Structure 1
C-alpha cells in the first residue's frame, strides 16, 4: 500500500479538477505531492522510492503555473489525458533508464537478499511495463473521449478507474505468481 500512496496527488487532482476547477485541482495536487515528498525525505526514503510522488510535484508545478496564467487554456479539457500521458512518460522513462519506478517501492517490502537478483528486477520491470501500458491506453482513450464527447463523465471515470485498478491488481498478483513458480522449482 505505501507505493499507492504516491498516487494520492493524482487522485486528489482527478476528484477536484472538474472542468471548472482545474486550478484548484492542480494546486491541491501540487501541495499533496510536495507534502508526500517532504514526509518521505524526512523519513530518510531514497528518491527511487518516491518516483511517482516526485513526478507529481513536477507535473503539478507546471499545471498550476499554466492554470493560473491561462485559466481558460484548451489544455484544461485534456487534463485527464495529460495526467496519464505524464504518468506514461514517467513509467516508460524509468524503464528506459533501467530503473523501473516500482523497484524502489518493492525494495521497501522485499527481503534485502533478493534485491540484487535478476528476477527481482525483471518482476519490477514487468509490473512497471503494465503500469506504463495502462497509462498509455488511458491517455489515448481519454484524449479521444475528450475530443468527441467532453461531457461523458461516466466514461471518463470508467476509463480512469479501470486503467488504475487493473495494474494495481496485477501489481498485487504478479509477484505472488512468480514466488509460487520459484517455490515449485526443485
Structure 2
C-alpha cells in the first residue's frame, strides 16, 4: 500500500484540535464552558478552513457540534445543556464515525486519499484500513461518551479520574492512527512482489 510517512499522517491532530481545545478550556462553570465552545468553534473555522472547503465530515461535524451548542447556550439561553455538552459531543462524534462507515465513506478515507497514490484508492485493503481506523475512532468516542457520563453523575475523585481517562483514549487513538498505516504498508510490502 502506498502509505505516507508519519509526518503526513499528523492530520489527525488538526482534525481533533477543536475537541482538545474544548477539553482544556471547559471547566465546571457556565462561563468556562461557553468560552470553551466559542474557542472550539473558532479553532474549527480557522484551523479547519481548508477541510471545510473540501467538505470533510469530521470538520463539518465539529463546526455543527461546537457552533450549535454555542448558539443554543448563548443565543437561546439553553445553559441547562452545558453540563451534558461533553457527553453530547462524544456521542455525536461516535454517530458521525459509525455513520460515515455505514455511508461507505469512513471519515479517515477523506484524508487518506490525499496521502496515497491514486492507484490505491480503489484497493479493497485501502478501504478496509480506513473502515478499521474510523471504527477505532468511533470506539474511542463511545468509550469517552460513557466516561464523560460517569464524570457527570459521579463528581469527585471518580469523575475526575474518568475525565483524565478520556484524554488517555484520545492519545491512544492518535498513536494508533499514526502507527497503523505504516504497519499495513510494511505488512503488504513483505507480501507483494518487489516489496511495493
TM (norm. structure 1) is 0.87
In the alignment, what sits opposite 1:178? 184
Inter-CA distance 105–39: structure 2 relative to 1 (3 Å threshold): closer
In the alignment, what sits opposite 2:49? 38
1:117 correspondence with 2:123: yes
**Higher mean displacement: 170-179 or 114-123:** 170-179
Structure 1 runs of 4+ off > 6 angstroms?
A: none
Inter-CA distance 14–163: structure 2 relative to 1 (3 Å threshold): same
Inter-CA distance 40–91: structure 2 relative to 1 (3 Å threshold): closer
What do residues 10-64 of structure 1 show as CA deviations (whole Å, max 9, x unaligned)? 11111122121111111111122122343445xxx622xx322111110112100
In the alignment, what sits opposite 1:103? 109
Q: How many residues align?
A: 180
TM (norm. structure 2) is 0.83
2:156 and 2:79 mapped to 1: Cα distance?
15
* Aligned alpha-carbon RMSD (Å): 2.0
What do residues 117-156 of structure 1 show as CA deviations (whole Å, max 9, x unaligned)? 1110100000000010110011012112211226756414
In the alignment, what sits opposite 2:40? 29
Q: Which runs of 5+ in 1 are unaligned?
A: none
Q: Which runs of 5+ in 2 are unaligned?
A: 1-9
**Higher mean displacement: 156-165 or 32-41:** 32-41
